Structure 1
Amino acid sequence: MIRRSQLIGVACGALAASMAVAPVSAQTAADQTSPQADPQESVGLQDIVVTATRRASNLQDTPIAVSAIDSSLIEQASPRDIGELAAFVPNFSAATIANFNAASFAMRGVGQNTIIVYFEPPVAVLVDDFVVPSVQTQLLDTFDISQVEVLRGPQGTLFGKNTTGGAVTVRTKRPEMNVIGVEARAQYGSYGTKRIQAAMNVPLIEDVLALRLVGGYEKSDGYYRNGACYGPVTGFAPSKFEGVQGCLDNRRLGGKDVWQARAKLLFEPTDKISALLQYEWIRDKSDAVPSVNENGLFEGPGGANSFLTSILGTIVPNPNSNDPLKNAATTNRYAGFISMPLGQRINVDGVYLNVDFDLGFGTLTSVSGYRFQRSRLPNSYAGAVAIAPDGEPLSFFDANRDDNRKTYQQEIRFASDFGGAFDIVAGGFYQKDKTEFCVAQLLGFLDLTGGTTPYGPWNTTPYTLCNAQHATSKALFAEGTFKFTEELKLTAGARYSWDDKTWWGRQQTFIPDLGTPVRPITIEDPLDMSVFNFPDNVVSVEAHDRKLTYRGSLGWQATPTLFVYATVSRGYKGGGFNDQTGNFALFGTDLNAFRIAAAATRPEVADSYEAGFKSEFLNRRVRLNVTGFHVKYKDLQKNINVPIVVNGQSNQFTQFQNAASATVNGVEAEASAILFQGFTLRGVLGYQDAKYGDYDAPGSGYDLSTAPLDRAPKWQWTADATYEVPIGSDWKIVANGNAAYTGRNLSTQAIDTPFGNTYLNARTLLNASITLSEAEDKYYIRLIGRNLSDKRYRIASQNVAGLWLNTQFGPPRFYGVEIGAKFGSKR
């Protein structure tokens, strides 16, 4: 009885403290009772329109767990990218993947923690209905976004592709007919941050054709310092490294250098046809992502402390600072295909066409798109460097991960508007994805063990691994809604998917051992070593998956302000190959054994049961939405770090396995409240209890099921407040502040010892902004503060088989000033 009362008290208190559903701005209710009505009585929350059912609907009577974040909150929160919007969604957390500026999104117990290019993320990102396939470019800029909807739970009917965790759907701003306008803003802030963004709307043909041009540039110096100290190096190092010691040059690392643009052409020849053609362009030349070595955090057999301290002896305290941001390290190598001085180079070119045909009895929609992404990603993974007297750096583990990716998508769907009790959404989805991948590595740590290569030291001889994948995903889907009465409706749907993949790969090897290329090469780019250019000893493996997924939901409008719903759904995540298969030539010349090892995982399946309510009360001053859920996962795809021995020393390779089942129970609450005119409180509360069932992997040294699920913090909450005060009739001040908490969560898991598991520490981040704006928002100046308490917190961390542990940290305290202007007029 005591435990039950405590739990009820905690739940009620948490809900009372959690004040925010879909973040929205306060707005005067349209239906005031009389001209003499008290202004306080006319204040209410505005309706939120979402498209989570592939048709416009009010959030408050949509029987799905969905959160919506509109452009007004995005502007006040001033996030760096969409990852920082996760604070406004319960049980949705965002980090980065270790060593990369890539999205690590997690939801309801499943998350992304690997950069493997063929690994399908459990949380999909769609931009204007196009599925962005690569996590490397999912951390989108927020300038041109009109609304973000986050669908929580498995998506197995309307949204391609299937996912087990959820989906983030982004709507960009569309051109406006007959409006000529300009929107621009510029920001300057800490660590040399400079950001310029602008959009122009141009009417070309009255009521028929309009153009929107959007562009932006971001530049920063980076908030890390190349300040790690080392030595003296001991053991079996080449003589010129023996005994060297010192500290690095303390220059800034991790700076941004990104150009991006979109051109959008809206064509509406009649009131029945709307076509939006877009071109996307990104050129990212940011610094390689810095690493901070944290070997001293681990002890015991197999802990990451063992190798770098006892054999290398390179990690020593920095006499200048114990701040991890001042203890990063990079070799800055430009040798053996390692191109650190050039930074990461990510180019994106995309063309998309969305067409809607109003047929009177419904809308027929076509979504077409082609996207080419070219990534060149160098990194000093160990976060540790030693420098010889002649200036040559010792690359413990430097690598360039490079890929070319071409994605084509076509979706056709029909959303009916029969005007009766029954409506349906049905259609088909097709996506084709071609990826080529190569990694070149300088494994200098192997020189320290007495090993060598046939072609010279490991520190100067690149070891290369290449593979490729062609994948197609096809699906047919339908979902219908039947209204028994105006208050009671049933929604049910299904999706049948065909996933087909072919993988080509060869064992890791040295360039002279590749054989004769089928076309001339320049040896300037690792992709020149593609498996299609050097076909000797290349094997191919196929995977074919067929899955039926579904969703059923019952919604009841119990009162005009209380909507109750229950949903059962199944989603899945396609099986995948591993781009690291073939590391260290583990299978020698046995190509059949290599082919068996390269086999894809089976699909991961999620069965979800949820129930909740959506409510408004106190004359629409308060909105409270609560969902409870139970999700069962089976055949969880785990990227397991398997220990191996190379040249007598510990190493690892990453293996994909359907190793586990899991159960996640949780509660999600969102609320908004207008306490008085101009003052809005918002809050988010997420709780999840995530536990493994079966979890077995070859070579495990402990009960793996005792570990927490990857990227699954137990608690998450955000409290946000906005206060708008008019200054005369021409100006206003808007103050916004929030506190966002994310609990401790597992980043990567070792299978030999729990000492090797890495965690992202719990943190509470404080952010604020204050804006002086013209009353109609024509121009403004905004002061921005992020991480005001200057927390040091991990956003990615990885243990490499007890050899080293490297970590990335979130940005420190940031102060910035932003000015903006918005002008437009009807023609």
Structure 2
Amino acid sequence: MTRISTRAALAATVALFAVPAMPAFAQETPAAEDASDIATGNEITVIARRREERLLDVPIAISALNTDALERAGAKDLSGIQGAIPNVNIVQGRGSASSANFYIRGIGQPDALQTFDPAVGVYVDGVYLSRIQGALLNLFDVERVEVLRGPQGTLYGKNTIGGAVNVVSKKPHLDTVKGEAAFTYGRFDEVTAKGYVSAPLVTDKLALSLAGVYDDRDGIVTDPRTGRKYNDRNNLSGRGILRAKPTDTVEVLISGDYTRQRNAATLGYLTAPLIQTDFARGAVVLAPAEPYGPYDYKASTSLAPDQGQKLDHWGVSGTINVDLSDSFQLTSITAYRKLKTDFFIDIDATQFELGDVFVGVRQDQFSQELQLKYDADKLKGVFGLYYLNENVSSHQEAYADGLFAFNGAPITFLRTIDDKQVTKSYAAFGQLTYAFTEQLSMTAGLRYTHEKKTYNRCTVTASTLGLLNNIRYCFPDNLPAPFTGDNDVSYDAWTPMVSLSYKPTPDTLLYASASRGFKAGGFNGRVNSNGDISVTRNGVTTVVPNFEPETVWSYEAGAKGTFLDGRVNVSAAAFYTDYNNFQARVGNGTNVGLGGSFPVLNAGKLRIQGFEFDISVRPVQPLTLFASVGYLDADYKRFDDPRRLPPAGGAAFSCNPTGTQITCRPAFAPPLTLRAGGEYRVSLGDASLTLGGDVRFVDKQYLSVDNRPGLTEDGYLIGNLYAQVDFDKFYLRGAVKNVGNTLYKTDGQEFSSVGNIQTVYYGDPRTWNVTVGVRF
């Protein structure tokens, strides 16, 4: 099927589903709701604005997936919501099976390195996760996942410049024993066992819940040279929550969780010739692009069998809710988290040792948040104070024995790196909603953020060639004057928001909003020489020891509604975003650095605009149909680090950040994403049978900031099917994902200044599984 015909067919499907609700021009996120909720008129309740509200009443572009919706999506972890929400893209690959790198409306984290902050905040029961590593959380004991699109700084504790993913766990039941267990077997010897139980310890006063998951699957990528398997899964996780309610006005929640990951390396595939620098013969091609031909889940590596991925991630938190009066509630959220990763990554994905690295990260964070909530007849709001102290250090080793040679004789090369970053963040925020009438409301909020970062890094080389041996560089000690010793930066920002909402009927909502978002700047975590923090244009070299904060102004208008006793749910939103100082790691261009150069620049300006549309229709009781559309128009307005340098020749627009022209389109921003599907549920006496499925189209997108020719995904169509039989307490489910065995790329790595490395990662092939479960 051609791209044009695919788009036309899916657009026609969406239009067909939309016909019954078009005159109302209102909408909700129905594809994420439980079909039974639509049938009975029940609604999902969310806490997106730090208080319980109907999803329909929240004047924000928000989607919520409850337990049943997550199960139907086959969501083992947060990656399972991929495709369920328009203009939300989870970028997976980059050598790690555990990272949750969210892009919302084209805004995300372009480099997985720990010195970059996420642009989309992931929160678990109000606790912010500072790193994307280890953030692909298991969802078995989760009540729902709320995804808010656009800046949310006046409500949440930390960076939410692109949006927020709010994971809400099930609270232990104070008066009832409840539980669930499930066992899954699938292709590639997938074995998943899950269990959850909640029980009162003291009726109405004290309860405990425990959840555990074991998830194992063989690798889907084979090294033809050795027959070994890669890109597997081996995860173990657990969570316990203790809930106490000593009085009617006090509630205490103590939570602890642990995740353990032990799997082989995650391999991509080479898309450009791999180049060795021979000091006698010049450039030598070690491996061609696509060394095994068109991709067929084959790739090679120089990593040893025991050089895989290890992750340990745990945390504890305590939440106290106190009702001070009928109108005021005080909430305290105290949390400590610790992350340990030992990842071996073969960036070049070949048997040659040009881009093999070991990255061992040790991270811990302490956070404290206080919220004062007010709920009166006409005025509602929340005021908050937030503090975060994060320490993240790493030991890295870069192995490149294939990068250099002399007349065919190999030259060994090793770079060892040790660095540490300390971040302290303080914030005060507040948001109030005033109802002028039962129909008309206005919301206004303001946030103040102060953030300080300190960074130190030392690297040293070892090589059999004296020219490359024992070269030591330390940041900031080796910075040129006047920057010597400059390794700490502070940022302050005021970020307001305002919105106006109008409810023509109790079940419809119109709204418009404007909000400002902020993400702190920082340091280039790949600096190995002053060349990595220097930019040369027109013969002038400028040192840029740190990159600046990002800011956005986002403007949005939307509508949502439910009709015909909940049988029709629709929502729509249009947005326009001015995005300044995008933090981008680019190719070396005219920079010169030993073993490659990796400058980080602030792209001068982006403009992102688009719309989202969701609809769900239940024409008859057993049948539910749903569809969604996401459209993005994302463009660089300038990309030449204008904060430091004027555009070449005084031009008004430039897209050559280091003197090398690039394809001037933002990465991970597909112009069009479509999803359509349905579910049919019939009674079988004392049991019921549900048949469902969906099809998803993702348009062409770029997979790196520099947009190299091989680092693109040309667009794909993917479908999923499932069938489930529900008995009184037992259920049996079978599912097939990627029914058509579509080959599609999910991520790319561009290190062209090191041996011309340009690698892509692919999604899973066709998989199937069967699950048997029990609920009580």
TM over 0.5: yes
The equivalent position to 2:350 in structure 1, one of 364, 376, 384, is 384
Output the CA distance in 2 between the equivalents of 1:797 and 1:661: 23
Where do 1:502-513 residues align within 5 Å?
502-510=454-462
Match of 1:708 in 2: 665
Q: Output one character per residue of 1:357-416: Cα deviation in whole Å (capped at 9) or x when no partner.
A: 11222211111100000111101211111xxxxxxxx42221101110011111000111
Match of 2:43 in 1: 47
The equivalent position to 1:21 in structure 2, one of 25, 29, 54, is 29
Summarize the Cα distance change of 1:632–1:645 in structure 2 as closer, same or farther, 3 Å threshold: closer
Q: Is the 8 A contact 1:670 1:683 kept in 2?
A: yes
Output the CA distance in 2 between the equivalents of 1:478 and 1:351: 26
Match of 1:230 in 2: none
Where do 1:37-436 residues align within 5 Å?
43-101=39-97, 102-227=99-224, 248-295=225-272, 311-315=284-288, 322=293, 324-333=295-304, 341-360=306-325, 361-385=327-351, 394-418=352-376, 420-436=377-393
- Give how far 1:188 is off: 0.8
TM-score (normalised: structure 2)? 0.87
Output the CA distance in 1 between the equivalents of 2:719 and 2:689: 20
Match of 1:790 in 2: 741
Q: Is the 8 A contact 1:377 1:400 kept in 2?
A: yes
Match of 1:3 in 2: none
Match of 1:593 in 2: none
Match of 1:771 in 2: 724
Summarize the Cα distance change of 1:490–1:192 in structure 2 as closer, same or farther, 3 Å threshold: same
Q: Output one character per residue of 1:282-322: Cα deviation in whole Å (capped at 9) or x when no partner.
A: 111111111222226xxxxxxx789899713434877xx74
- Give how far 1:756 is off: 5.0
Match of 2:649 in 1: none
TM-score (normalised: structure 1)? 0.82
Output the CA distance in 2 between the equivalents of 1:288 and 1:295: 21
Q: Is the 8 A contact 2:582 2:604 kept in 1?
A: yes
Match of 1:517 in 2: none
Summarize the Cα distance change of 1:458–1:111 in structure 2 as closer, same or farther, 3 Å threshold: farther
SS of structure 2 residue aligned to 1:369? strand
Structure 2: unaligned runs, 5 residues or longer? 1-6, 22-27, 465-471, 535-541, 642-655
Say if 2:668 is the partner of 1:722: no
Percent identity over paired residues: 27
Q: Is the 8 A contact 2:532 2:597 kept in 1?
A: no
Output the CA distance in 1 between the equivalents of 2:567 and 2:310: 49
User: Given residue 525 of structure 2, which amino acid in structure 1 is its aligned partner?
Assistant: D
Moved over 6 A (4+): 9-13, 304-310, 529-532, 534-538, 584-588, 644-647
Q: Is the 8 A contact 2:110 2:705 kept in 1?
A: no
Q: Output one character per residue of 1:471-513: Cα deviation in whole Å (capped at 9) or x when no partner.
A: 011101111111111111111010001011111122443499x
- Give how far 1:545 is off: 0.3
Q: Output one character per residue of 1:804-824: Cα deviation in whole Å (capped at 9) or x when no partner.
A: 22221101000111111112x
Output the CA distance in 1 between the equivalents of 2:556 and 2:233: 41
Output the CA distance in 1 between the equivalents of 2:762 and 2:732: 30
SS of structure 2 residue aligned to 1:83? helix
The equivalent position to 2:435 in structure 1, one of 483, 486, 502, is 483
- Give how far 1:180 is off: 2.4
Match of 2:629 in 1: 685
Summarize the Cα distance change of 1:283–1:536 in structure 2 as closer, same or farther, 3 Å threshold: farther
Output the CA distance in 1 between the equivalents of 2:452 and 2:414: 33
Output the CA distance in 2 between the equivalents of 1:331 and 1:681: 49
SS of structure 2 residue aligned to 1:707? coil
Output the CA distance in 2 between the equivalents of 1:699 and 1:549: 28
Output the CA distance in 2 between the equivalents of 1:211 and 1:10: 47
- Name the larger-Rg structure: 1
Output the CA distance in 1 between the equivalents of 2:419 and 2:303: 26
SS of structure 2 residue aligned to 1:445? coil
Structure 1: unaligned runs, 5 residues or longer? 1-6, 30-42, 228-247, 297-303, 334-339, 386-393, 513-528, 589-595
Match of 1:520 in 2: none
User: Given residue 406 of structure 1, which amino acid in structure 2 is its aligned partner?
Assistant: D
Which stretch has the larger CA shift, 534-543 or 708-717?
Answer: 534-543
Say if 2:619 is the partner of 1:675: yes
Q: Output one character per residue of 1:68-114: Cα deviation in whole Å (capped at 9) or x when no partner.
A: 11111111121242123131211111121422222232111212231
Summarize the Cα distance change of 1:688–1:586 in structure 2 as closer, same or farther, 3 Å threshold: closer
Summarize the Cα distance change of 1:757–1:477 in structure 2 as closer, same or farther, 3 Å threshold: farther
User: Given residue 675 of structure 2, which amino acid in structure 1 is its aligned partner?
Assistant: T
- Give how far 1:612 is off: 1.1
Output the CA distance in 1 between the equivalents of 2:613 and 2:309: 39
Match of 1:525 in 2: none
Q: Output one character per residue of 1:48-70: Cα deviation in whole Å (capped at 9) or x when no partner.
A: 21111111111212111111111
Q: Is the 8 A contact 2:222 2:298 kept in 1?
A: yes
SS of structure 1 residue aligned to 2:56? helix
Q: Output one character per residue of 1:196-253: Cα deviation in whole Å (capped at 9) or x when no partner.
A: 11112232111111111111111111100112xxxxxxxxxxxxxxxxxxxx122221
Output the CA distance in 2 between the equivalents of 1:365 and 1:114: 35
Output the CA distance in 1 between the equivalents of 2:135 and 2:184: 22
Match of 1:636 in 2: 582
Which stretch has the larger CA shift, 695-704 or 192-201?
Answer: 695-704
- Give how far 1:732 is off: 0.8
Q: Is the 8 A contact 1:84 1:94 kept in 2?
A: no
Give aligned pairs, total: 722
User: Given residue 578 of structure 2, which amino acid in structure 1 is its aligned partner?
Assistant: K
Q: Is the 8 A contact 2:578 2:607 kept in 1?
A: yes
Output the CA distance in 2 between the equivalents of 1:741 and 1:317: 25
Output the CA distance in 1 between the equivalents of 2:251 and 2:713: 46
SS of structure 2 residue aligned to 1:448? strand
SS of structure 1 residue aligned to 2:402? helix
Q: Output one character per residue of 1:719-751: Cα deviation in whole Å (capped at 9) or x when no partner.
A: 1211111111x211111201112212111133x
Q: Is the 8 A contact 1:195 1:217 kept in 2?
A: yes
- Give how far 1:45 is off: 4.0
User: Given residue 21 of structure 1, which amino acid in structure 2 is its aligned partner?
Assistant: T
Output the CA distance in 2 between the equivalents of 1:536 and 1:692: 34
Summarize the Cα distance change of 1:224–1:345 in structure 2 as closer, same or farther, 3 Å threshold: same
Summarize the Cα distance change of 1:276–1:597 in structure 2 as closer, same or farther, 3 Å threshold: farther
User: Given residue 78 of structure 1, which amino acid in structure 2 is its aligned partner?
Assistant: G
Output the CA distance in 2 between the equivalents of 1:28 and 1:147: 14
Which stretch has the larger CA shift, 281-290 or 535-544?
Answer: 535-544
Q: Output one character per residue of 1:703-724: Cα deviation in whole Å (capped at 9) or x when no partner.
A: 44x5211211101111121111
The equivalent position to 2:502 in structure 1, one of 556, 560, 577, is 556
Output the CA distance in 2 between the equivalents of 1:673 and 1:679: 8
Output the CA distance in 1 between the equivalents of 2:350 and 2:509: 56
Output the CA distance in 1 between the equivalents of 2:241 and 2:543: 46
